[in-house]
Amino acid sequence: MRYTCCVNFLIMKHTSIQRRRSGASFLLSSVLGLVGLSFAAEKPVKVYILAGQSNMVGIGQVTSGTTRWTTEFTDCVASLYEGAYDAKVDYDALKPKQEVKLVEFGGLKPTPYPKGGTVVVRGKFQPKQTGIYQFSPGYGASTVNVMNVNGIEVYRMEVGGQPINKSIKLSETEKVAFKVTYFTESADSVGWYTRMDVPGTLHTIVNEEKQYPYLIDNNGNWVVRDDVWYKGVVTAGANKWLSVGCGATPSQIGPELAIGHILGNHHEEPVLILKASQGNRSLGWDFLPPGSERFEYEGKMFAGYKDVQASWAKGEEPKGEGWYAGKQYDDCFFGAKDVLKNFATSFPHWKGRSYEIAGFVWFQGHKDQYEPAASRYEGNLVNLIKSLRKEFDAPNAPFVVGTGCGNPGRVGPGLIIAEAQLAVDGSKGKYPEFKGNVKSVDLRFVDPDPAKSPREQGFHYHQNAGAYMQIGEALGKGMMELLQAKWAAAQEASDVSATGRSMIFFSQM
């Protein structure tokens, strides 16, 4: 009530100004907006549900992956020195009390180190490829050590501390000396190295090619957002503040990384990216939405929702057990609903806050490149959009659809699917109820060069992290267009309503 009084007072105070302006609602809407800011901290968390198959799961490589120490290390000798490690001692100047030639260094059955003092291992390292490398010597307790390669300290971890890595450029044509000095008696030859400049990895794209600078901080570390939380169900199961590592594994990314940054920058409220996805799944069978009915095609019957067989002879009944049409829909979206049902316990950092479904993003299509799935894709997609909005009680939530999902979409069934995905865009006019709230984003321009990617694997964009960033930014921008259109429509409706209220108010004065 006191806010209403405040608004009325401010309106009366500015009545003479308002009467001279044609937009009588301007002040009222502005004041109401200011009053609303007092509740900003209590506004619901904005939840975006991302779904699809493996390219939504996320296969973009952050680095090339780690390689266990093995034959790249040669001439390895473990030297044992008297007493516990002492940082003041120059072990290179001392004579060891025992030396052991390490016939097997690293690998699965490494030659054991001598025990009873301080161990220093020396040898040679020659990479198989020229590049920039990081080293991670040790496992568990044996990671407490310092490592030098070619005279440069590349790794250090003190007792009770955190590991410090430094990258070094090495040539495939040159053997260089290495040395590992262990700070405790827990010493072994287990270790890993990582090539950091493999083309197409996120590390290379950001640090070497200087793209997507918003992903790293001033110290070169991956940015961790404190306003966007990521939660994965079924796959890509990270549960943390948004950063790298929310893809299929902790060393991979998907579209969620760029999407989360864009939406986090847009909203004053916190954002939850809730990803429910699974690889190798079709919309025509695995993700088939509730309400989908059986149909006949070329003399055979095809499954409707919950049928246990994909197709069967006309006149018979489906037979099967375990999997059924729409099971992936149920697994993914019922899983997401369970997370939201237990919102307070799932996200204790938002204790006391509610949530609202702010939008959906669908990125799928590769698995439907067969008939009749391709020709029925458009109808299934329309049903999916309606079903998810109903499922999550969000009838007008913005819905973004990406084309392709590892499918080039230029010929054959792939083209049929891409055209179906584009057809549901609300601006096309084919589905009037989707106007202003469904947007299709054509992603067929994303086509990374396999020679500049971590792995030749076309249906996963060659695992190129840059491709997944391009996809994420395009989908995020598509969502932004819908949000801005929704905001503009709400403002227009608010202005019309406020103008009416203002005119009533002024007529009574």
**Of 10-14, 199-203, 348-352, 493-497, which gets the smallest average pLDDT?**
10-14
pTM of the model: 0.81
227-281 pLDDT tens trace? 999 999 999 999 999 999 999 999 999 999 999 999 999 999 999 999 999 999 9
DSSP conformation letters of 291-349: TPPPEEETTEEE--TT-SSSEEETTS-----S--TTHHHIIIIIHHHHHHHTHHHH-GG
What is the Cα–Cα distance from 417 to 423, expressed in whole angstroms?
10
Domain end position, chosen among 168, 195, 222: 195
Residue 499: pLDDT band with limits 50, 70, 90 = low
Residue 31 confidence (pLDDT) above 50: no
C-alpha dihedral sign at 451, 457, 463, 468: positive
11 within some domain: no
239-241 vs 176-182, strand pairing mode:
unpaired
CATH number of the domain that 404 lies in? 3.40.50.1110
Q: Over the chain, what is the mean pLDDT? A: 90
pLDDT over threshold 70, residue 40: no
User: β-pairing, 152-156 with 98-101?
Assistant: unpaired
Domain assignment of residue 300, yes or no: no
Looking at the structure, do residues 50 and 132 belong to the same domain, yes or no? no
Do 370 and 460 sit in the same domain of this protein? yes
| 320 in any annotated domain | no
Greater confidence, 127 or 36? 127
- Claim to verify: residue 70 and residue 211 sit in the same structural domain: no
Return d(Cα 198, Cα 61) in angstroms, integer.
10
Could you tell me how many residues make up the chain? Answer: 509
The reply to whether 505 falls in a domain is: no
Same domain, 368 and 427: yes
Question: What is the pLDDT, as a whole number, of residue 91?
Answer: 98
pLDDT attached to residue 10 = 33
Whether 9 is in a domain gets the answer: no
Percentage of residues in the chain having pLDDT higher than 70: 89
Q: Give per-residue pLDDT as tens, 428-449.
A: 999 999 999 999 999 999 999 9
| Helix 377-391 with 412-423: angle, nearest 10 deg | 40
- Mark which of 195, 217, 232 sits at the end of a domain: 195
Could you tell me the CA-to-CA distances from 203 to 63, 91, 189, 194, 229 in Å, in that order?
6, 36, 27, 11, 22
Residues 138 and 216 occupy one common structural domain: no
Distance in angstroms (rounded) separating the CA atoms of residues 278 and 342: 22
Assign 2 a pLDDT band (cuts: 50, 70, 90).
Answer: very low
451-494 pLDDT per residue, tens: 999 999 999 999 999 999 999 999 999 999 999 998 888 887 77
Same domain, 253 and 150: no
Tell me, what's the pLDDT at 41?
A: 60
Q: Which residues contact 25 (CB under 8 A, 6 or more apart)?
A: 494, 495, 496, 497, 498, 499, 501, 502
Q: What is the mean pLDDT of residues 356-366?
A: 97
Q: What local confidence, expressed as pLDDT, does residue 35 receive? A: 45
Of all helices (H) and strands (E), which one includes residue 505?
helix 465-507
| Closest CA relative to residue 282, chosen from 54, 48, 49, 50 | 54
Nearest to 271 by CA among 258, 281, 282, 261: 261
- Note the pLDDT of residue 400: 98
Which residues, 6+ apart, have CB-to-CB distance to 204 below 8 Å?
196, 197, 198
Task: At 239, list the tokens.
Answer: 């549960």
Residues 6+ apart with CB under 8 A from 370: 413
Task: Determine the pLDDT at residue 137.
Answer: 96
User: Is the confidence at residue 13, as pLDDT, over 60?
Assistant: no
**Would the pLDDT of 222 be above 50?**
yes
483 and 384 in one domain? Answer: yes
- Phi/psi for 325 (5° steps) reads -65, 120
CA distance 509 to 440: 50
Same domain, 367 and 480: yes
Question: Does 209 have pLDDT greater than 60?
Answer: yes
- C-alpha distances in angstroms, 291 versus 169, 319, 325, 353, 473? 58, 20, 11, 33, 33
Dihedral sign (CA 339, 345, 350, 351): positive
Is 296 within the bounds of a domain?
Answer: no
Distance CA 333, CA 193 (A): 39
Question: Tokens standing for 247?
Answer: 């893809």
Please answer whether residues 56 and 50 qualify as being in contact, where contact means their C-beta atoms are separated by less than 8 angstroms: yes
Nearby residues of 28 by Cβ (< 8 Å), 6 or more positions away: 7, 11, 498, 501, 502
- What's the rounded mean pLDDT across residues 193-210? 94
DSSP per residue, 251-296: TEE-THHHHHHHHHHH-SS-EEEEEEE-SS--TTTTTPPTTPPPEE
pLDDT (tens digit per residue) in 80-126: 999 999 999 999 999 999 999 999 999 888 999 999 999 999 999 99
- Taking the mean position of all CA atoms in its chain, how far away is CA 476? 12
Number of domains the chain is built from: 2
Q: At CA 406, angle to CA 400 and CA 407, rounded to 5? A: 90
Task: Quickly tell me which residue has 């990521």 as its tokens.
Answer: 230
- Asked whether residue 390 is assigned to any structural domain, the reply reads yes
Instruction: State pLDDT tens for residues 282-329.
Output: 999 999 999 999 999 999 999 999 999 999 999 999 998 889 999 999
Q: Say if residues 19 and 506 touch (Cβ distance below 8 Å).
A: yes
Per DSSP, the residues of 135-184 read: EEE-SGGGG-EEEEETTEEEEE--TTS--EE--EEE-TT--EEEEEEESS
Pairwise CA distance, residues 58 & 56, whole Å: 5
Question: Do residues 70 and 58 both lie within one domain?
Answer: no
Domain end residue (candidates: 180, 195, 210):
195
Tokens of 54: 């493996």
Is 272 inside any structural domain? yes
Q: Does 124 share its domain with 207?
A: no
Query: Around Cβ 356, how many Cβ atoms within 10 Å?
Result: 14
The pair phi, psi for residue 352, each rounded to 5°, is 90, -10
Q: For residues 177 and 231, state if they share a domain.
A: no
- Give 146's strand partners: 156, 181
Please report the pLDDT score of residue 25 as a whole number: 41
The CATH number covering residue 191 comes to 2.60.120
Q: Is the pLDDT at 394 greater than 60, yes or no?
A: yes
pLDDT of residue 5: 37
- Greater pLDDT, 353 or 26: 353
User: What pLDDT does 329 receive?
Assistant: 98
Least confident residue range of 161-165, 415-419, 504-508: 504-508
d(CA 374, CA 383): 15
Domain that holds residue 277: 45-63+201-290+326-493
Residues 96 and 166 in one domain: yes
